[in-house]
């Protein structure tokens, strides 16, 4: 096992229960397996190292959503090609879509990670599998049991107290099995939530509450609300895209202050333990990409005939047709997080989530291929185009997040054998 130059900090569960003693494993010394508990503790330590490293080395790990084999191939291949760490994430929607649920993704992930790391020669465990937005304990438990490296328990829609209770239950279960837990505090309010710009801040994560939340739950990372939101339209027309980096810095610092390992230390101390913050809703939703989507707009034949009839004969209800057409035209609308501001979160955010950009690209490429080859009925043709588009987006994110080339230092044994 190769050991890396992490500072000699230790990780421990600070949500002690009466029955369980906190596990304390120094990072940077050989954590060879000595017992059943040791295996799990070592696994959690490695995932924590993986999530802390970007904060020290100033890059951000892209966390990219997958839904099927092609999207998994696309993002995993991009990671090995660019030698970037990667978090492959699966949402509740993706689990429902796959007939074998989370087990489908574990099997697919293991195979692809193993095969593609051999093909490109990368460090296999720099690519990890994560549950995105696990809505309750049961979903998290199922993914922990299935072999995920990390799970997100998202109880942010509940009250603070309920969020704490649900998160703590997931943390207790996952930690005993060596699985890392991301939680969420605050609401990611977007334009679509009809929350007025002025009141958007009200849904932002409070730094002191965040510290209390981490103290009470023992979660390993925290998703916060600092201005981003899910989907293609994150900001109103008259709103300037922004990330509240001051708040982000304060959240991180307040959390770090309560960590047991940091007691009696200063943030400037070499052994100060950094806490991984996660940024959701970080797609850039580029205008060009959304224009591309619109260029190959597929309007149902029924509607195009209505338009033609109206144009040629002047018959039909023009207003009604315009109303029906509107959703198609609105596809072109997007306002995301400009990639030029990604660098403002370096050293603050360990993991940055992107789904919308991948969805838009796969759809644009498939539409384009279909439009250009109207007689083709071979799904591999358009799926291939969709896959290469997703791979392009993934590799591009790895460049702009400065994670490309950063996977080489993580050469530990695989936690899950490929």
> How many residues interact with ligand G3H (rule CB under 6 A)?
9
Site stretch for ligand 13P (CB under 6 A), options 95-103, 204-212, 278-286, 361-369: 278-286
Instruction: By CB under 6 A, tell whether 67 contacts ligand 13P.
Output: no
State which residue has the least CB distance to ligand G3H.
93
Residues belonging to the active site: 132
Instruction: By CB under 6 A, tell whether 244 contacts ligand 13P.
Output: no
Please list every residue from 296 through 315 that binds ligand 13P, using CB under 6 A: none
Instruction: By CB under 6 A, tell whether 134 contacts ligand 13P.
Output: no
Considering CB distances under 5 to 8 angstroms, the limit depending on partner class, which of Zn ion, ligand G3H, ligand 13P, none binds residue 276?
none
Please list every residue from 63 through 122 that binds ligand G3H, using CB under 6 A: 65, 91-94
Please list every residue from 340 through 359 that binds ligand 13P, using CB under 6 A: 353-356
**Closer to ligand 13P at the Cβ: 66 or 211?**
66
Instruction: By CB under 5 A, tell whether 280 contacts Zn ion.
Output: yes
Residues 6 or more apart from 111 whose CB is under 8 A from it?
418
DSSP string, 172-229: HHHHHTT-EEEEEES----GGGT--HHHHGGGSPPHHHHHHHHHHH--SEEEE-SS--
Considering CB distances under 5 to 8 angstroms, the limit depending on partner class, which of Zn ion, ligand G3H, ligand 13P, none binds residue 283?
ligand 13P
Instruction: By CB under 6 A, tell whether 280 contacts ligand 13P.
Output: yes
Work out how close the CB of 258 gets to ligand G3H at its nearest, in angstroms, rounded to a whole number.
28
Cβ distance 361 to 232 under 8 Å?
no
DSSP string, 11-66: EE--S--SS-PPPEEETTS-----SHHHHHHHHHHHHHHHHHHHHHHT--EEEEE-
Considering CB distances under 5 to 8 angstroms, the limit depending on partner class, which of Zn ion, ligand 13P, ligand G3H, none binds residue 94?
ligand G3H
Nearest to 164 by CA among 138, 184, 188: 184
Exposed/middle/buried for residue 88 (C-beta within 10 Å: 0-12, 13-18, 19+): buried
CA distance 283 to 231: 8
**Closer to ligand 13P at the Cβ: 32 or 96?**
96
Instruction: By CB under 6 A, tell whether 132 contacts ligand 13P.
Output: yes
- Alpha-carbon torsion angle 393, 398, 402, 408, nearest 10: -160
**Closer to ligand G3H at the Cβ: 93 or 267?**
93
DSSP string, 316-379: S-HHHHHHHHHHHHGGG--B---GGGGGGGTTTEEEEEE-HHHHHHHHHHHHHHHHH-TT---H
Work out how close the CB of 91 gets to ligand 13P at its nearest, in angstroms, rounded to a whole number.
7
Considering CB distances under 5 to 8 angstroms, the limit depending on partner class, which of Zn ion, ligand G3H, ligand 13P, none binds residue 354?
ligand 13P
Residues 6 or more apart from 209 whose CB is under 8 A from it?
160, 185
Considering CB distances under 5 to 8 angstroms, the limit depending on partner class, which of ligand 13P, ligand G3H, Zn ion, none binds residue 70?
none
Could you say which of 283, 365, 407, 412 contacts ligand 13P (CB under 6 A)?
A: 283
Exposed/middle/buried for residue 32 (C-beta within 10 Å: 0-12, 13-18, 19+): exposed
Instruction: By CB under 6 A, tell whether 221 contacts ligand 13P.
Output: no
DSSP string, 268-280: TSTTPPP--EEE-
The DSSP code for 233 is: B
Instruction: By CB under 6 A, tell whether 231 contacts ligand 13P.
Output: yes
Work out how close the CB of 96 gets to ligand G3H at its nearest, in angstroms, rounded to a whole number.
9
Please list every residue from 207 through 236 that binds ligand G3H, using CB under 6 A: 230
Its sign, for the CA torsion 184, 237, 241, 399, is positive
Positions that interact with ligand G3H (CB under 6 A) = 65, 91-94, 132-133, 230, 355
The binding site for ligand 13P (CB under 6 A) comprises 65, 132-133, 230-231, 280-283, 353-356
């Amino acid at each position: 096992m190769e050991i890396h130059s992490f500072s000699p900090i230790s990780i421990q569960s600070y949500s002690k229960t009466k029955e369980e003693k906190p596990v304390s494993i120094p990072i940077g010394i050989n954590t060879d397996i000595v017992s059943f508990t040791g295996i799990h503790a070592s696994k959690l330590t490695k995932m924590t190292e993986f999530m802390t490293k970007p904060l020290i080395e100033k890059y951000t790990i892209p966390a990219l959503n997958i839904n099927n084999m092609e999207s998994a191939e696309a993002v995993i291949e991009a990671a090995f090609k660019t030698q970037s760490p990667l978090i492959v994430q699966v949402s509740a929607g993706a689990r429902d879509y796959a007939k074998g649920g989370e087990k489908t993704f574990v099997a697919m992930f293991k195979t692809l990670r193993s095969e593609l790391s051999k093909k490109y020669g990368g460090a296999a465990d720099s690519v990890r599998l994560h549950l995105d937005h696990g809505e309750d304990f049961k979903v998290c438990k199922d993914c922990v049991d299935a072999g995920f490296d990390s799970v997100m328990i998202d109880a942010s829609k509940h009250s603070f107290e309920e969020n704490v209770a649900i998160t703590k239950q997931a943390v207790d279960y996952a930690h005993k099995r060596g699985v890392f837990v991301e939680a969420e505090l605050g609401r990611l309010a977007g334009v679509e939530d009809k929350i007025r710009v002025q009141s958007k801040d009200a849904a932002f994560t409070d730094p002191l509450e965040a510290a209390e939340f981490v103290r009470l739950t023992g979660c390993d990372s925290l998703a916060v609300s600092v201005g981003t939101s899910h989907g293609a339209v994150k900001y109103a027309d008259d709103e300037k895209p922004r990330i509240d980096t001051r708040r982000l810095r304060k959240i991180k610092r307040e959390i770090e202050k309560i960590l047991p390992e940091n007691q009696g230390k200063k943030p400037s101390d070499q052994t100060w333990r950094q806490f991984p913050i996660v940024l959701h809703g970080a797609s850039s939703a580029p205008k060009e990409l959304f224009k591309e989507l619109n260029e190959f707009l597929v309007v149902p034949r029924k509607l195009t005939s209505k338009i033609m009839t109206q144009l040629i004969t002047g018959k039909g209800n023009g207003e009604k047709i315009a109303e029906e057409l509107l959703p198609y035209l609105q596809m072109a609308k997007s306002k995301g997080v400009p990639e030029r501001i990604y660098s403002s979160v370096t050293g603050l955010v360990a993991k940055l989530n992107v789904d919308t950009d991948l969805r838009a690209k796969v759809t644009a490429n498939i539409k384009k291929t279909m439009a250009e080859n109207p007689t083709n009925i071979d799904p591999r043709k358009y799926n291939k185009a969709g896959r290469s588009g997703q791979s392009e987006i993934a590799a591009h994110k790895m460049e702009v997040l400065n994670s490309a080339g950063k996977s080489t230092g993580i050469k530990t044994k695989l936690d899950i054998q490929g």
